[in-house]
Structure 1
Amino acid sequence: MRVDEWIPTLTHATERDVDLLLVEELASSLDFTTWVAGHVGMVGSIAAWDVKHSRRRTRSRREIDIFIEIQNRDGTSSAILIENKLDATEQPDQAESYRQELAALASDYSRAAMVLVCPAAYAAQHLDFSGKFDLVLSYEEIAAFFRELRAETGSELALRYDFRAAILDQAIYKYRRGYTPIPDPVVGDFNARYVLLLADLAPEIEPGPSMRKPANPRESTSMIYDQAVSLSAIPDGIRPRRFAHELGRGSEQRANYVAVTFAGWGAALPAIGARLEADTSEIGAFFEAKRPTKVRPRPGLVMALPCEPVDNQCSFDAQRDALARGIATATTLRRWLLENQDKLTAWRKLVGDQLGAI
């Protein structure tokens, strides 16, 4: 039997197993901590962080499953409170007590958010509870993150990530045998109406395949355009690889912007960021990039324009004006890219000067 055919796993995974897996990964992996923080809109460059398990709350005897304290390089600080649920039911006023803890911490941190980590099926079946958190981060999403890292490395670390993903798989199947992601017709209907609105307001922007599905999972909050068609007038060498409207689930604490991503340019951002901002001052763009790692030495460079939060699980009609303004923002970003290809070419040269051949 080949080594890569066998991954040792537990006979079954418990909530405590997932707790400890998450604590270990958060404590030891800046990439994972940055990924989790990014899901709640905390996108600063992390200088230091601390992770605690079963932390006592400020004004209650109850405990927080996982508490992350982050210090950013710009001097700001953040806190993330994580509640992990595998199959246990909600305790009385449990989500409300997390919200009270956030209020108690407000003066100590620049940003704070509360996150529910659970199987996707758990969130779908406990909507009243899961909807009270700023973010639901599913076991499936975390397992996919581990598998993505596994695919990008060929060492002993690959087996470690296989093992972590397998533990989460077991936890998912313990909750619901044979579970597969649950398409949500509410999200599917929202997407269909968005596509119609996009065709009416900005026919030059082509919806991507995921936007046309009859139903998407509840976790899907990105309107990903077909960049190859929408930005076809831009040559391959400087054309962004992703063009999307991030809806942000109606929360100010999540990502709410229209953005494009330039593949492999992100590591140059510290050196060229001032130039990029000066070149785009007329439209007020901002730029982000993940920290380069051994797994991802060439992260993407995100160029974004802010827009309003929208919740794709709430009324489309009530949010139509906000959606229209978001589409207008996408039109503005597309037009700037088409009209400033000379600047994109100059950016590519700057990136090449910093990183070598691209």
Structure 2
Amino acid sequence: MAQLNTYLNISERDVDLLLLEELLVSEPFAIWFVSAIKQQPSSITIIGAWHSVSDALLGESDLIIKFTSEAGVIEAILLENKIDAIAQTEQGYRYNMRGVKGITQNEWAAFITCLLAPQSYLDRNTEPYDVEISYEQVIAFFQKNADIRSQYRAAFLQEAVEKNRRGYQSVVCLRMTEFAAAYLNFVASNHPELNPEIAKPRAAGHDWIHFYPFPNQKNIVIVHQIRGQRIKVIYHRQLSRYDEIVDKFADAVDLPLDVKPSGKSVTVSTEAPFIDLANSTFEQVKEQIRQAINSALIIKNYLIR
């Protein structure tokens, strides 16, 4: 028995339930966890936490955490937990839609979408969430405590990190990786002013192409959502600038643009051509790509005015 691993296999559900328990029974952990996600010290009161909350149209949240903020406002964290599973198409976007729906149904007044994963997973993530938090950060919290229970929690999550390291290569989709690389190389050669992201291995559902019009400002990104057929500017965590952003695009005549609040962010989007990713190579859809890039260039001109 001594030669056996303590855990045969750790799943994302196992981690979900560990976090759920800590959030509901450990006030120090709950305050630290929410503060880490809000990226500021927060004195909060947990209202509740729920696992695997499904919406018939918008999909499932791994965890939803409701709490009362220092200002007495009911807020929520919608958390997606990943170890080594691939992201579903537009998963981050659907998390945001569920958050907005919660506001319209008076479940909470504000929300944050969060991706929790090993750091190596976060480094290659292309899905948009308001905040990312790594397993390693949670492990560090538990390691600061000398009690046996905390040390067990840290070891448990460390085993999940090791699983991620062992399992990553199996999720790479060669077709999507080659398509994205061809797309990004084309933009880098012909329109470097869009500052495209660096090509990386991709899973089948990772079809968002990112451009960073201001290289030193990663919180403003232009995204081509290929399957979603949208070119979109995302102002991450800049809802306070909503009126300013509306004014910036108010006189746009080159494209029909839709400006919307999106959780704590703001999006500006327009329609993009249909591209059949399943049955087409990059060369076969280059004309549609050119149209999408042209829309991105027009939007960038409004950004830099």
Please report the TM-score for the alignment, with normalisation by the length of structure 2.
0.50
Given the alignment, which residue of 147, 150, 166 partners 1:161?
150
- Structure 2 counterpart of 1:39: 36
Confirm or deny: 8 A CA contact 2:37 2:133 kept in the other structure: no
Deviation at 1:14, TM superposition (A): 1.7
Classify 1:253/1:106 alpha carbon distance in 2 versus 1 (closer, same or farther; 3 Å). Answer: farther
Structure 1: distance between partners of 2:18 and 2:46: 20
Amino acid at match of 1:176: R
Deviation at 1:139, TM superposition (A): 0.7
Unaligned runs of 5+ in 1: 1-7, 151-157, 180-247, 255-358
Equivalent position SS for 2:144: helix
Given the alignment, which residue of 99, 103, 106 partners 1:102?
99
Structure 2: distance between partners of 1:67 and 1:249: 27
Please tell me whether residue 172 in structure 1 is matched to residue 161 in structure 2.
yes
Amino acid at match of 1:149: N
Confirm or deny: 8 A CA contact 1:113 1:253 kept in the other structure: no
Confirm or deny: 8 A CA contact 2:52 2:63 kept in the other structure: yes
- Structure 2 counterpart of 1:121: 120
Please tell me whether residue 136 in structure 1 is matched to residue 132 in structure 2.
yes
Structure 1: distance between partners of 2:89 and 2:17: 24
CA RMSD of aligned residues (A): 3.1
Given the alignment, which residue of 50, 53, 68 partners 2:51?
53
Structure 1: distance between partners of 2:96 and 2:50: 18
Equivalent position SS for 1:87: coil
Unaligned runs of 5+ in 2: 169-216, 220-235, 240-305
Structure 1: distance between partners of 2:103 and 2:218: 22
Alignment of 1:180-199 (within 5 A): none
Deviation at 1:106, TM superposition (A): 2.9
Structure 2: distance between partners of 1:110 and 1:45: 17
Classify 1:168/1:44 alpha carbon distance in 2 versus 1 (closer, same or farther; 3 Å). Answer: closer
Greater mean alpha carbon deviation, residues 69-78 or residues 87-96: 69-78
Confirm or deny: 8 A CA contact 2:30 2:46 kept in the other structure: no
Amino acid at match of 1:119: P
Alignment of 1:152-301 (within 5 A): 158-177=147-166, 250=219, 251-252=236-237
Structure 2: distance between partners of 1:61 and 1:37: 24
Runs of 4+ aligned structure 1 residues displaced above 3 Å come to 248-254
Classify 1:91/1:177 alpha carbon distance in 2 versus 1 (closer, same or farther; 3 Å). Answer: closer
Deviation at 1:121, TM superposition (A): 0.6
Structure 1: distance between partners of 2:238 and 2:18: 26
Confirm or deny: 8 A CA contact 2:139 2:154 kept in the other structure: yes
Structure 2: distance between partners of 1:145 and 1:117: 14
Equivalent position SS for 1:50: strand
> What is the CA deviation profile of residues 100-154 of structure 1, one whole-angstrom value per residue up to 9, with x for unaligned ones?
112212343332101101111111123x12xx1111111111011110123xxxx
Deviation at 1:61, TM superposition (A): 5.6
> What is the CA deviation profile of residues 270-297 of structure 1, one whole-angstrom value per residue up to 9, with x for unaligned ones?
xxxxxxxxxxxxxxxxxxxxxxxxxxxx
Confirm or deny: 8 A CA contact 1:53 1:67 kept in the other structure: yes
Deviation at 1:43, TM superposition (A): 4.5
Deviation at 1:56, TM superposition (A): 1.9
Classify 1:93/1:125 alpha carbon distance in 2 versus 1 (closer, same or farther; 3 Å). Answer: same
Please tell me whether residue 80 in structure 1 is matched to residue 77 in structure 2.
yes
Equivalent position SS for 2:133: strand
Equivalent position SS for 2:85: coil
Structure 2: distance between partners of 1:48 and 1:16: 21
Structure 2: distance between partners of 1:21 and 1:145: 14
Amino acid at match of 1:69: K
Please tell me whether residue 12 in structure 1 is matched to residue 9 in structure 2.
yes
Classify 1:175/1:47 alpha carbon distance in 2 versus 1 (closer, same or farther; 3 Å). Answer: closer
Structure 2: distance between partners of 1:69 and 1:92: 26
Amino acid at match of 1:164: R
> What is the CA deviation profile of residues 26-59 of structure 1, one whole-angstrom value per residue up to 9, with x for unaligned ones?
11112222112212336543234200000123x6
